[in-house]
Amino acid sequence: MENASIYEVLQLAINLEDEGIKFYEKWAATTKGNVKEVLENLAKDEMKHASYYRGLYNDLKEKPDVDYLFEEEVTAYFKTYANSAAFNRKQVKITSIKDAIEEGIVTEKNSIEYYQFLLKHSKEKTKEMLATIIKEEEGHLVILKKLLAEA
């Protein structure tokens, strides 16, 4: 089994952020006031993250000698994760802003779990980037939990 590359990690991170943008924008359009503002800000954060990851991806593409940076188990985990709740929002029936916030919490938790797994199985070059990603996603989780408590 091949080891996962930094490119694969970044591509999945980009996909997660792009999904987050769509999700938060969709639900921001259905509400108003503080909830709308928070969801719009989360979408903006996801845009910044996606842009950051795209920049890293493009920078690394210019370096063809980048080694594989993860252990063997990571590729299997990518396949499993791609089919997990992070990409299956359509299966969850969301009928209210409260449902949307709860689904956002689940998705942020799944993202954190994904990045923590990678952190445990990454080589040194990748750990700093993953730690930054985890911190950002944990911040989103805190915001969403606070919003849910107010809902």
Residue 142, domain member (yes or no): yes
Residue 101, domain member (yes or no): yes
pTM of the full structure: 0.74
Residue 120, domain member (yes or no): yes
Please tell me the distance from the alpha carbon of residue 78 to that of residue 36, in angstroms, as a whole number.
33
Instruction: Sort 2 into a burial class: Cβ within 10 Å, 0-12 / 13-18 / 19+.
Output: exposed
Average the pLDDT over 48-64 and give the result. 81
Using alpha carbons, select from 66, 85, 70 the residue that is nearest to residue 16: 85
CATH number, position 11: 1.20.1260.10
Residue 1, domain member (yes or no): no
Using alpha carbons, select from 107, 101, 105 the residue that is nearest to residue 89: 107
Question: To which H or E segment does residue 74 belong?
Answer: helix 73-82
Residue 67, domain member (yes or no): yes
Residue 141, domain member (yes or no): yes
Domain hosting residue 90, numbered range: 6-150
Token pair for 35: 């909830």
Whether 69 contacts 126, CB under 8 Å: yes
pLDDT tens-digit series, residues 78-136? 555 654 545 455 566 778 889 889 988 988 998 898 788 778 877 776 788 788 889 98
Q: Number of structural domains, the chain?
A: 1
Summary mean pLDDT of the chain? 78
